[in-house]
Structure 1
Amino acid sequence: MIRFTLHQLRVFSAAAELLNYTKAAEKLHLTQPAVSMQIRQLEDNVDLPLFEQTGRQLYLTDAGRELYGYAQRILEVITEAEEVLEGMKGVHRGHLRVSVASTANYFVARLLADFSKRYPGVSISLDVTNRQRLLRQLADNEADIVIMGEPPTDADLHSEAFLENPLVAIAAADHPLAGRKSIALEELAQHRFVQRESASGTRAAIERFFEEHGLAVKPGLEMRSNEAIKQAIEAGLGVGIVSQHTLELELETGRLVILDVDGLPIIRHWYMVQRQGKRDTPVMRSFHDHVLEQAERQVRLPSEG
């Protein structure tokens, strides 16, 4: 009879996902030797090799791929059981796993702070990351609620729009377009753009908007964060289109300005997204209601001072 522990499955699952013992150790807050030992014990228990190494690259064996599929399902059921049992204790206790698109964290942090004050017994895990990882976390059931821009329609997800997300054109305060009224979109398109990486949902929305108007974004700098985009634009390296929700500090200090461009802003929405069929707990339902009730109050648009 094959015997293994849940701890061994969790360690194996992390190593199989990352294909790197060191990264798995960091994710699980263990040492690399501890991960190696758990994998070795698991391989002894199943009497089959689960990993093979070619050079510095780690690969799953056929047995490893089979076990990884079962391990994911087992750990998913265990996680659901833990969530249900915690939920039976009520909203005063429990754990909430929230993952957020980096652009949304400007107001989600305030939402979570307010929620934590209301329910001090609830522990919260927050991950701020990019769109690709958010979708992977939903697929792997690693997050209870994800807050992101428009989710894909072809995935097995339940999504609910809760807040408008206006995308505005910005430039440095001394840019030639700053202070002008009714700038034509065609003129804006002639300037070099500083934008997010190709996998970004915001970038896809911007490119789609320009294509609908028969235009294209002029290639410029590509950045992996909104902070890097704003700093590059402030330095005079181009113009950009970003969520207005990210601009509170820069507009208050006059380091950036919103350009008055015909046809802008692009109105998108923020969504709460969950894996389809995921069982709600009282904590998750309370956070869902809190977001619907408080989101608009937590967003600080520049016009509001």
Structure 2
Amino acid sequence: MKDITLRQLDFLAETALAGSLAGAAARLHLTGPAIAQQLRRLERAVGLPLLERGPAGQRPTDAGRLLIETHRRVRAELTACDDGLRALRSAEAGRVTAGVVSTAQYFAPFLLAAFGLAHPGVRVGLVIGNREEIVARLDDYTVDLAIMGRPPHGLAVEHQVFGDHTYVIIASPRHRLAGPGRLPFARVAEETFLVREPGAGTRLHFDAMFDTAGHEPTIGMVLDSNETIKQAVMAGLGIALISAHTIAAEVHEGRLAVLDVEGLPIRRHWLLVRMAGRTVGPTTEALWNFVSLTGADHLPSLEG
């Protein structure tokens, strides 16, 4: 392995991405034979085949995938190093990318915009996805830090609480349960629920809520976004457990009602999460500190 070069790993990753030597050569502005020669040297150094031909062209073997994953991590570390060096040359330089679970999309852009105003020389990236997608982004180093409700299992991470996160049950204002008065959970459990897909943070809280109460939920629809759930609830297709931070506008406008249910709201926290073993550049550290100190100020509220 001592004879492997980063350039050879670049060639391997580009060939796997393009599906052919010719495609990689075009992307890199080199010749196919030049890339092929370096890949043969790389295979000799590793002692295993790295590419195999399939219906869609060249694809990596297990050994090739391992090297490509290592290449991705090395490139991410070099990018962080480059950001750090530029930040040392200029206190307001660099790049940071935040991964945000979809429930946090209602406040995270405003939070990152505030950070951008405070650090105008920093380029800020934003990636939004469900919980599983953001955890995968953390693991492969394509985001520097993440905003989510619970730290991921199976990854060595650091996390920091920066605000309260509550979950409530919502209904259309025309729903028979909407209005004053506290409702027993058993009564609400008889209703039809609209839920997120398995693996989503809200779905995990929904399943845990019913498991704890010892009731079997009636699920009317499984929907892949909070926006779709809100529209379906407003239309009267069912009720839903949802993050209070996703519904502030609709509640204030009278388009959704929060049910006063025994045992609710569920009280959790918003977390900042980053990989524990990753080199942290000054820009990532600056965003981490900014969100830790001011993140709670940007959370939507049902009050007022």
TM-score band w.r.t. shorter chain: 0.7 to 0.9
Match of 2:125 in 1: 125
SS at match of 1:284: helix
Please show how residues 242-261 of structure 1 align to structure 2 within 5 Å.
242-261=242-261
Change (3 A) 1:63 1:203: closer
1:206 lines up with 2:196 in the alignment: no
The residue aligned with 2:169 is 169
Query: 2:65 is aligned with what amino acid?
Result: R
2:39 corresponds to: 46
How many angstroms apart in 2 are the aligned matches of 1:68 and 1:38?
20
Partner residue, 2:142: 142
**Separation in 2 of the partners of 1:199 and 1:303?**
30
Encode CA deviations 1:88-128: one digit per residue, 9 max, x unaligned.
23541111111101111211111111111111111111111
CA distances 1:232-291 after superposition (whole Å, capped 9, x unpaired): 111111100111001122112211111111111001111100001223332222222221
Residues 287, 67 of structure 1: alpha-carbon distance in 2 compared, 3 angstrom cutoff: closer
- Is this contact kept in 1: 2:6–2:71, CA < 8 A? no
Measure, in 2, the Cα distance between the counterparts of 1:133 and 1:256. Answer: 29
Change (3 A) 1:15 1:187: farther
Residues 72-221 of structure 1: matches in 2 within 5 Å?
72-221=72-221
Partner SS, residue 288 of structure 1? helix
Residue of structure 2 equivalent to 1:282:
282
Matched letter for residue 236 of structure 2: G
1:302 is paired with a residue of what secondary structure?
A: coil
The one-letter amino acid of 1:297's match is D
Distance 2:18 2:192 in 1: 42
In 2: Cα distance, 1:237 partner to 1:12 partner: 51
SS at match of 2:89: coil
**What CA distance in whole angstroms lies between the structure 1 residues aligned with 2:5 and 2:111?**
44
Unaligned 5+ runs, structure 1: 23-30
Do the aligned residues in 1 keep the contact of 2:220 with 2:238 (CA within 8 Å)?
A: yes
1:238 maps to: 238
CA separation of 1:160 and 1:42: change in aligned 2, threshold 3 A = farther
Unaligned stretches of 5+ residues in structure 2: 44-48
Indicate conservation of the 8 Å contact 1:2/1:46, yes or no: no
CA contact (8 A) 2:103 2:243 kept: yes
The match for 2:272 is 272
State the one-letter code of the partner of 1:137: R
Query: Which amino acid in 2 is paired with 1:5?
Result: R
Counterpart position of 2:46 = none
Letter in 1 for 2:243: S
Deviation at 1:156, TM superposition (A): 0.8
Q: Which has the larger radius of gyration?
A: 2
* 1:55–1:135 CA distance, 2 compared to 1 (3 A): same
**Root-mean-square deviation over aligned CA pairs:** 2.8
Q: 2-side partners of 1:105 and 1:58: how far apart?
A: 38
Describe the shift of the 1:145–1:39 C-alpha distance in structure 2 as closer, same or farther (beyond 3 A).
farther
1:296 Cα deviation (Å)? 2.1
TM-score, L = length of structure 2:
0.85
Partner in structure 2 of residue 26 of structure 1: none
Q: How far apart in 2 are the matches of 1:15 and 1:144?
A: 26
* Worse-matched range after superposition: 77-86 or 137-146: 77-86
Aligned 8 A contact 1:21 1:36 in 2: no
Deviation at 1:66, TM superposition (A): 4.6
**d(CA) in 2 for partners of 1:15, 1:205:** 43
Q: Aligned with 2:98: secondary structure?
A: strand
State the distance in 1 between where 2:219 and 2:60 align.
Answer: 40
Bigger mean CA offset, 121-130 vs 293-302: 293-302
Name the SS of the counterpart of 1:303 in structure 2.
coil
